[in-house]
Structure 1
Amino acid sequence: MQRAEDRCTDTRERNQRDMTMTLQRIFSDQDKAQIEERGLSVEQAMEQIRIFREGAAPLKLNRPCTLQDGIFVVGEEEGGELVRLHEEEAGAGRMLKFVPASGAASRMFKDWYRILDAGGLQDEDSRTKFLRDLKKYAFFEDLKSVLAKAGRNLDDLLEKGDVCPILSTVLAADGLSYGQLPKALLKFHLSPEGSRTAIEEHLVEAALYVKDAQGRCRVHFTVSAEHEGAIQEFLRRIDEIYEKRWNASFDLSLSIQHAHTDTIAVDLEKAPFRDLDGFLVFRPGGHGALLENLNALDGDIVFIKNIDNVVPDSLKPSTVLYKQILGGYLIRLQRRIFSYAARLTEGGLTEDELSEIIAFCRRDLCLSFPPAFNGASLSERCRQVFQRLNRPLRVCGVVRNVGEPGGGPFWVEDETGALSLQIVEEIQVDSNSESQRSLWRAATHFNPVDLVCGVRDYLSRKFDLRQFVNPRAISIARKTEKGRELYALELPGLWNGAMADWNTVLIEVPLETFNPVKTVEDLLRPQHQEK
Structure 2
Amino acid sequence: MEELFTPKDIELLDQKGISIEKINQQLEYFIYGISKINLVKPATPESGIWILSKEDRQKYSTLFDTSKNQKSILKFVPASGAASRMFKFLLEFLNDFRRGNETVNAYINRTRCTELSVFLVGLKRFPFYRDLKTRVRELYPDFIQLENDEKNYYLIKTLLDKNEFDFASKAKGVLPFHAKEDKNLTPIEEHFRETLFYQKEDKKAQVHFTISKEHLTSFHSVCNQYPDIDTSFSFQCESTDTIAVTPENTPFRDENNNLFFRPGGHGALIKNLNDLEADVIFIKNIDNVSQNHIIPIFEYKKVLGGVLLELQAQTFYYLKELENQSVSEELINEITGFATQKLNIVLPKDFYKYQTQYKVETLQSFLNRPIRICGMVKNEGEPGGGPFWIKNEEGEISLQIVESSQIDFSSPKQLAIAQQATHFNPVDIVCGIKNYKGEKFDLTQFVDHNTGFIVEKNKDGKPIKSYELPGLWNGAMAGWISIFVEVPLVTFNPVKTINDLLKPAHQPENE
TM-score range, shorter chain: over 0.9
State the 1:394 CA deviation.
0.2
Counterpart Cα distance in 2 of 1:224 and 1:405: 32
Q: How does 1:303-452 map to 2 (within 5 A)?
A: 303-312=282-291, 314-403=292-381, 407-452=385-430
State the 1:229 CA deviation.
2.2
Q: Cα deviations across residues 100-146 of structure 1 (Å, max 9, x unaligned)?
A: 00131111001111222214652179787644411100111221333
Counterpart of 2:6 (choices 25, 28, 40) is: 28
1:67 aligned residue: 45
State the 1:47 CA deviation.
1.8
Aligned residue type for 2:166: S
- Cα pair 1:308 1:516 within 8 Å, conserved: yes
Counterpart Cα distance in 1 of 2:418 and 2:211: 32
Aligned residue type for 2:214: E
Matched, 1:51 2:29: yes
2:58 aligned residue: 80
Cα 1:108–1:431 change in 2 (3 A) is same
Counterpart Cα distance in 2 of 1:177 and 1:411: 44
2:208 aligned residue: 220
Q: Cα deviations across residues 444-479 of structure 1 (Å, max 9, x unaligned)?
A: 110000000000111111111001111111111111
- Cα pair 2:86 2:497 within 8 Å, conserved: yes
Counterpart Cα distance in 2 of 1:405 and 1:489: 24
Aligned residue type for 1:281: F
State the 1:370 CA deviation.
0.7
Q: Per the alignment, in what secondary structure is the counterpart of residue 173 of structure 1? A: coil
Which stretch has the larger CA shift, 154-163 or 31-40?
154-163
Q: Per the alignment, in what secondary structure is the counterpart of residue 289 of structure 2? A: coil
Matched, 1:147 2:136: yes
Matched, 1:186 2:180: no
Q: Cα deviations across residues 504-525 of structure 1 (Å, max 9, x unaligned)?
A: 0000111111111100011111
- Cα pair 1:97 1:210 within 8 Å, conserved: no
1:239 aligned residue: 226
Cα 1:250–1:220 change in 2 (3 A) is same
Matched, 1:500 2:478: yes
Cα 1:52–1:176 change in 2 (3 A) is same
Counterpart Cα distance in 1 of 2:450 and 2:226: 42
State the 1:404 CA deviation.
5.8
Counterpart Cα distance in 1 of 2:324 and 2:27: 47
Which stretch has the larger CA shift, 374-383 or 413-422?
413-422
Counterpart of 1:284 (choices 263, 268, 280) is: 263
Q: Per the alignment, in what secondary structure is the counterpart of residue 478 of structure 1? A: strand
Q: Per the alignment, in what secondary structure is the counterpart of residue 239 of structure 1? A: coil
Identity value in percent: 40
Which stretch has the larger CA shift, 491-500 or 399-408?
399-408
State the 1:437 CA deviation.
2.1
- Cα pair 1:391 1:503 within 8 Å, conserved: yes
Across the aligned residues of Structure 1 and Structure 2, the Cα RMSD in angstroms comes to 1.9
State the 1:406 CA deviation.
6.3
2:233 aligned residue: 254
- Cα pair 2:71 2:279 within 8 Å, conserved: no
Q: Per the alignment, in what secondary structure is the counterpart of residue 335 of structure 1? A: helix
Matched, 1:481 2:476: no
- Cα pair 2:383 2:420 within 8 Å, conserved: no
Counterpart Cα distance in 2 of 1:386 and 1:302: 23
Q: Cα deviations across residues 186-241 of structure 1 (Å, max 9, x unaligned)?
A: 100112352101111111111x22212324200000001221222123312x214x
Aligned residue type for 1:305: K
- Cα pair 1:157 1:163 within 8 Å, conserved: no
1:13 aligned residue: none
Counterpart Cα distance in 1 of 2:339 and 2:33: 35
Cα 1:371–1:173 change in 2 (3 A) is same
1:42 aligned residue: 20
Counterpart Cα distance in 2 of 1:288 and 1:311: 25
Counterpart Cα distance in 1 of 2:415 and 2:272: 33
Aligned residue type for 2:325: G
- Cα pair 1:409 1:447 within 8 Å, conserved: yes
State the 1:373 CA deviation.
0.9
- Cα pair 1:428 1:475 within 8 Å, conserved: yes
Matched, 1:168 2:168: no
Counterpart Cα distance in 1 of 2:78 and 2:146: 37
Aligned residue type for 2:162: A
Equivalent residue pairs, number: 498
2:199 aligned residue: 211
Matched, 1:110 2:88: yes
1:8 aligned residue: none
Counterpart Cα distance in 1 of 2:287 and 2:144: 30
Q: What is the TM-score when the length of structure 2 is the normalising length?
A: 0.93
State the 1:389 CA deviation.
0.7
2:252 aligned residue: 273
